[in-house]
Amino acid sequence: MLEDDLGLADFQLYLLKAMDPPESLRTAALADLGSSKQDMFAKFDNVHQALWVLDGGVASNILPMLDQVRVPGSHPEGSVAFSLPIWKEFLYIVSFDSTGRVFSTTEFSRRDGRETDLVVRPWEILESELPEMFDRIEEFETWGPSYRVLTARHLESGEVFRLRFGFGLLQAVISRGDQSR
């Protein structure tokens, strides 16, 4: 069931809660949306109920919710891309199982290539871009299809990092020290 009033801002609040970004990024995004943490928690529950089968929703409810920011064009067949204002450099890509009731994919993808070098900071790098800067990339922990923690050794410094991703977008960086020897 989709509440008629759920839209773009509500979904962005949902993602902010779901991704658990650093407080500084969350605070800035909430200010951009003109919303509070309380709004974020409330909208998280509403959007979650609309999208997740176990809560009575269906994944395809995302389509009318984000219709105004749907991006036609070249993305993997069977998927839909959205341009979310809070994450301007990225597209949010979703695909569904054959019933449309469950998500197959929910991830960020870089919009049009990058204009600058990769920076190891939250909301700056995608999981798929790690091999450009790191080797010895290993899964450390996974929570469902959208959340992963990886360890990786930085190619230049030899420093090993633990990197937490939500929907393929870096959310947290934890340095573990020089492991190059």
Task: Express each pLDDT in 81-119 by its tens digit.
Answer: 999 999 999 999 999 998 889 999 999 999 877 666 778
Q: What is the pLDDT of residue 180?
A: 44
Q: What is the pLDDT of residue 174?
A: 80
- Mean per-residue pLDDT of the chain: 89
The percent of residues in the chain predicted with pLDDT above 70, rounded, is 92
Q: What is the pLDDT of residue 119?
A: 81
Whole-number CA gyration radius for the chain: 17
The percent of residues in the chain predicted with pLDDT above 90, rounded, is 69
Q: Is the pTM of this model over 0.85?
A: yes
67 close to 84: Cβ distance less than 8 angstroms = no
Q: What is the pLDDT of residue 114?
A: 67
Task: Express each pLDDT in 25-44 by its tens digit.
Answer: 999 999 999 999 999 999 99
Nearest Cα neighbor of 160 from 142, 132, 138 is: 138
Distance CA 20, CA 30 (A): 13
Q: What is the pLDDT of residue 145?
A: 76
Element (H, E) at 30: helix 23-33
Distance CA 79, CA 68 (A): 16
Q: Name, in order, each residue with C-beta under 8 angstroms of 9's C-beta and a sequence gap of 6 or more.
A: 33, 35, 43
More confident residue, 65 or 177: 65
Q: What is the pLDDT of residue 169?
A: 96
Q: Is the pLDDT assigned to residue 61 strictly greater than 90?
A: yes
The mean pLDDT value for 48-77 works out to: 88
Cα 107 to its chain centre, rounded Å, is 6
